[in-house]
Amino acid sequence: MNELIYKGALNSLSFGNISYNLLREMYKKDIKVSLFPIGDKVDLEAFDKIDESFKQWLASSINERFDRINKDLPTLHQWHLNGSENRLSKNQTLFTFHELDEPTDIEIKMVNLQDNCIFSSSFSQKVFNNKGCNSHFVPVGFDEDFCTIDREPNDFIHFGIIGKFEKRKNTGQIIHQWAKKYGNNYNYQLTCCIDNPFIDQEQMQGVKYKILGGKNFGNINFLPRLKTNSEVNDFMNNIDIDLSGLSGAEGWNLPAFNATCLGKWSIVMNHTSHLDWSNEENSILVKPSQQIECYDNAFFHKGQPFNQGNINVINDDEMVHAFEESEKKAGNLNEKGLLLKSKFTYEKTLNNILSIINEK
Q: How far is CA 138 from CA 156, 273, 305, 349, in A?
A: 39, 11, 25, 6
Query: How many Å separate Cα 346 from the centre of its chain?
Result: 14
Task: Write out 229-282 in H/E/C secondary structure.
Answer: HHHHHHHHHHCCEECHHHCCCCCCCHHHHHHHHCCCEEEEECCHHHHHCCCCCC
Cβ pair 27, 147 in contact under 8 A:
no
Asked: is 3-141+345-359 a CATH 3.40.50.2000 domain? The reply is yes
The reported pLDDT for the residue numbered 198 is: 87
What kind and span of H or E run contains 59?
helix 52-63
In whole angstroms, what is the distance from residue 187 CA to residue 247 CA? 25
Mean pLDDT by 10 residues, the chain (360 residues): 94 96 98 96 96 98 96 97 96 98 98 98 98 98 96 92 96 98 98 92 92 96 96 97 98 98 98 98 98 96 98 98 97 97 98 92
The reported pLDDT for the residue numbered 360 is: 62
The reported pLDDT for the residue numbered 66 is: 96
| CATH 3.40.50.2000, the chain: domain bounds | 3-141+345-359, 157-343
What kind and span of H or E run contains 15?
helix 14-28
Q: List 78's β-bridge partners, or say none.
A: 8, 95
In whole angstroms, what is the distance from residue 92 CA to residue 353 CA? 12
The reported pLDDT for the residue numbered 154 is: 86
The reported pLDDT for the residue numbered 153 is: 85
Selection from 313, 332, 360, 34 nearest residue 177 by Cα: 313
The reported pLDDT for the residue numbered 1 is: 75
In whole angstroms, what is the distance from residue 69 CA to residue 33 CA? 9
The reported pLDDT for the residue numbered 275 is: 98
The architecture of the domain spanning 157-343 is 3-Layer(aba) Sandwich (3.40)
The reported pLDDT for the residue numbered 140 is: 98
> What is the length of the chain?
360
Q: How far is CA 147 from CA 75, 144, 243, 330, in A?
A: 32, 7, 20, 19
In whole angstroms, what is the distance from residue 2 CA to residue 10 CA? 22
Query: At what angle are helices 346-359 and 14-28 packed, to 10 degrees?
Result: 80
Cβ pair 270, 286 in contact under 8 A:
yes
What is the DSSP pairing of strand 136-137 with strand 157-162? unpaired
Phi, psi (rounded to 5 degrees) for 133: -80, 165
In whole angstroms, what is the distance from residue 273 CA to residue 55 CA? 31
**pTM recorded for the entire structure:** 0.96
The reported pLDDT for the residue numbered 279 is: 98
